[in-house]
Amino acid sequence: MDIMSFAYPALALGASVLLWYLLKEFNIAGGHAALPPGPPRRLVIGNLLDIPETSLWKTLTNMAQSYGDVLSLKVFSQPIVVLSSLQAATDLFDKRAAIYSDRYTSVMMHELCNAGWIPTFMNYGDRWRNTRKIYHQYFGPHALHNYKSVQDEKLRSFLRRLRDEPEHFNDHILYVFGATIMKMMYGIEVQDSRHEEVVTAEQAMSKFAEAGQPGRWLVDMFSPLKYVPEWFPGAQFKKLASLCISLSERTRNNAFNKAKQAYESGHPLPCIVTDILEKLPDTAEGRELEQCARDSLGSAFAAGSDTTVAYVKWFFLAMLMHPEAQKKAQQELDRVVGPDRLPDVDDRASLPYTEAVIKEVLRWQPVAPLAFTHCTAADDEYRGYHIPKGTIVIGNAWSILHDTSAYPDPESFMPERFLNPDGSLNANIRDPQVACFGFGRRTCPGRYLAMNSLYQVIASVLHTFNISPSLNDVGRNVIPSEVEGLILYVILVHDFSLIVSRTLVIPAVPCIMIAPSNLVQLLRKCLSLRQTTYSAPLC
Ligand code: HEM
């Protein structure tokens, strides 16, 4: 058969596909308004090369200066919209929550790793609503007083550990959150960060973080690859997926089953699982609720530990670099609490400076600078732009918390920005909680517990320890001058006046939560803890 009889139809088909692609990509056919403005796109890959591997939030904040607070990118055919102002985030995440509360579903995470049970990745719907109800019931503001004795016990143990082995401060920070939440939820006694349940949850977190890296897996672009068997050369993603499934099943069920067995054997542990089981009806609905409880609790440690712990580390660094702020908070604690007891929740309203320090830590280094990506459940139009169904929507918490109109000189650590001249809290200053816990209906349901834990740890550490630079071999202070990405510099200076307080940047998994791994190394080199005049025993 004549070759041209194939070539002409093939050329015609190719030209039609190209025409369709151009019409679609550049919206030449009209119909919809255009996507919000953004950097120019390359053919096929779109803005892929505009997305850096680290410090994505900074790149997006800079892009917002050129393209505005609602900008768009496209990676291959996936539209991404970035909201860099509180106004835009409120307009879409809060006021149009029915459209902007879904999550992006990827083949790797949802189909292969079975991440759909984890509330953070769950699609918007009834199952997700039920898990939020459980969070509200057990981690809402009204529930927290139930855990006071557990929190006090673990906090004192944490302070004793800091006093006895200050060089292991990182383990102690991990311990205080892990031990508290595991006892609250499952009645489990965690002695240290090597406890079986804690280790499994941490391994699960790290494997899911690897599996969840956007754009890393070919199977997300070409879904038939999901049928490739695990033994097939190059199919490591399938092995990773199997590992994620087995780790997440253990995280979800092991501790829950132990608490359930104790309950069923007539020796219930005082914990959330026992309370849930006591109230469950023996019906299909009851079984569904039990499953939701497993999901909610099984993810709480993972969702809350890295984030809370990371903020405690930033707090230590802030105090190390700003001794004047530390001193003011300690003077306030001495005045209000005195040397004979630890600060408790009832003191909080009388400690505005300490509260301002906590707010400034949350604002200065948001540990989830791009919160967690949302996804649109339907087509929408905003400010005349088209935002199609399936768009990934990023709330840029970093730019909202470093917005110069709300926070002059945003890179500086200045608790005073939250205070009136008379030292009381200024209610007109934007509370960092509007962005550091995410947005709209997906806002972090653990934020009350997190704020409560941060307050207790920060106020108690300030009350019992002086955080100061360690001394080098010749007796001089070791001060951190700069942390940039993964590179760490530590310089030796004579006194605090030489400290250059530069922007601290931490490595990012794009669009996912981050924790500053290099911060620990920095603190290890620079941190020294000495007890204050606090005189009561820590037992
Ligand atoms: C300082 C500590 C914490 C920070 C900074 C933080 C931050 C966040 C952020 C940014 C999100 C995403 C919100 C969004 O999608 O817009 C989130 C979601 C979530 N957080 Fe937290 N979180 C913290 C502590 C906790 C704790 C202690 C728990 C559990 C007790 C928790 C449980 C969750 C859950 C389950 C979600 C998913 C919510 C959903 O998708 O509906 N978090 N958190």
The per-residue DSSP string of 507-539 comes to ---TTS----HHHHHHHHHHEEEEE-S--S---
CA–centroid distance, residue 438 to ligand 1 (Å): 7
Distance between CA atoms of residues 532 and 339, nearest Å: 9
- The full DSSP string for 246-289 is HHHHHHHHHHHHHHHHHHHTT---SSHHHHHHHH--SSHHHHHH
3-state SS assignment for residue 211: helix
For residue 371 and ligand 1, the question of a CB distance below 6 A is answered with yes
Quote the DSSP letter at residue 431: P
Strands of 312-428 (E only): list them: 374-375, 380-382, 385-387, 392-395
- Cα(122) to centroid(ligand 1), Å: 13
- Ligand 1 centroid vs 440 CA: distance in angstroms? 12
The dihedral through the CA atoms of 30, 32, 36, 39 has a sign that is negative
Which segments in the chain show pLDDT lower than 70?
1-32, 53-54, 213-215, 471-522, 524-527, 535, 538-539
Is 372 close to ligand 1, i.e. is its CB under 6 Å away?
A: yes
**292 sits in which H/E element:** helix 284-321
Protein residue whose Cα sits closest to atom 18 of ligand 1 = 444
Q: What pLDDT, on a 0 to 100 scale, did the predictor assign at position 497? A: 21
Nearest-5° angle of CA 198, CA 200, CA 204? 115
The Å distance, Cα 380 to ligand 1 centre, comes to: 26
Give the closest residue (by CA) to ligand 1 atom 14: 438
pLDDT of residue 25: 58
Q: What is the ipTM of this complex?
A: 0.99
According to the 3-state scheme, what is the secondary structure of 93-105? HHCCHHHHCECCC
Q: Is the CB of 304 under 6 A from ligand 1?
A: yes
Nearest ligand 1 atom, CA 453: 27
3-class state of residue 392 by DSSP: strand
Q: Check if the beta carbon of residue 352 is closer than 8 Å to that of residue 425.
A: yes
What does the alpha-carbon distance between residue 350 and residue 380 come to, in Å, rounded to a whole number? 46
437 lines ligand 1 (CB under 6 A): yes
The reply to whether ligand 1 has any atom less than 6 angstroms from the CB of 442 is: yes
Is residue 450 within 6 Å of ligand 1 at its C-beta?
yes
Would you give the distance in Å from CA 252 to the centre of its chain?
Answer: 20
CB 241 within 8 A of CB 283: no
110 close to 458: Cβ distance less than 8 angstroms: no
* pLDDT score recorded for residue 171: 86
* Å from CA of 437 to ligand 1 middle: 6
Q: Is the CB of 119 under 6 A from ligand 1?
A: yes
CB 369 within 8 A of CB 314: no
482: helix, coil or strand?
Answer: strand
Q: What was the pLDDT predicted at 26?
A: 56
Give the DSSP letter of residue 37.
P
Distance between CA atoms of residues 204 and 338, nearest Å = 43
Going from the C-alpha of 16 to that of each of 19, 22, 43, the distances in angstroms are 5, 10, 16
Classify 224 as helix, strand or coil: helix
Ligand 1 within 6 A of CB of 307: yes
- Neighbour-count burial of 303, counting CB atoms closer than 10 A to its CB (0-12 exposed, 13-18 middle, 19+ buried): buried
What's the Cα-to-Cα distance from 19 to each of 14, 41, 77, rounded to whole Å? 9, 17, 15
State residue 19's pLDDT score: 61
Q: Which atom of ligand 1 is nearest to the CA of 442?
A: 41
Spacing of C-alpha 24 from chain mean position: 35
Ligand 1 proximity of 311 Cβ (cutoff 6 Å)? yes
Question: What is the structure's pLDDT at 482?
Answer: 40
Contacts 24+ apart (CB under 8 A), 269-277: 269/186, 269/187, 269/188, 270/187, 271/183, 271/184, 271/185, 271/186, 271/187, 272/138, 272/184, 272/185, 272/186, 272/297, 273/185, 273/186, 273/187, 273/297, 274/187, 275/138, 276/134
302 lines ligand 1 (CB under 6 A): no
Residue with CA nearest ligand 1 atom 3? 307
Q: Calculate how far, in angstroms, residue 41's C-alpha sits from the geometric centre of ligand 1.
A: 33
Ligand 1 pocket: which of 183, 373, 444 to mutate (most atoms <8 Å of CB)?
Answer: 444
Looking at 296-449, which runs of residues are DSSP E strands?
A: 374-375, 380-382, 385-387, 392-395
Q: Please give the pLDDT value at position 476.
A: 60
Protein residue with least CA distance to atom 30, ligand 1 = 446
Q: Which of 176, 437, 453 to mutate to test the pocket of ligand 1 (most atoms within 8 A of CB)?
A: 437
| Burial label, 534 (beta-carbon count in 10 A; 0-12, 13-18, 19+) | buried
Tell whether ligand 1 has an atom less than 6 A from the beta carbon of residue 368: yes
CB atoms closer than 10 angstroms to residue 473: 6
How much distance in Å is there from the Cα of 519 to the middle of ligand 1? 21
Phi, psi of 381 (to 5 degrees): -130, 135
Tokens of 84: 């860099």
Protein residue with its CA nearest to atom 31 in ligand 1: 446
Q: Is the CB of 373 under 6 A from ligand 1?
A: no
DSSP letter, residue 373: -
Residues 6+ apart with CB under 8 A from 226: 107, 111, 112, 219
Cβ–ligand 1 contact at 120 (below 6 Å)? yes
Q: Which atom of ligand 1 is nearest to the CA of 395?
A: 16
Bridge partners for 477 per DSSP: 471
309 alpha carbon – ligand 1 mean position (Å): 13
Q: How high is the pLDDT of residue 54?
A: 66
Report residue 270 as tokens: 């005082």
- Asked whether 69 and 84 are in contact (CB, 8 A), the reply is yes
pLDDT tens string 474-528 = 666 665 544 333 222 222 222 222 222 222 222 222 333 334 456 666 676 666 7
Alpha-carbon distances of 149 from 134, 152, 260, 313, 431, rounded to whole Å: 21, 5, 22, 24, 29
Q: Is the CB of 439 under 6 A from ligand 1?
A: yes
Q: Is 443 in the pocket of ligand 1 (CB under 6 A)?
A: yes
- Could you tell me which residues come within 8 angstroms of residue 134 by beta carbon, excluding any fewer than 6 positions away? 276, 292, 293, 296, 297
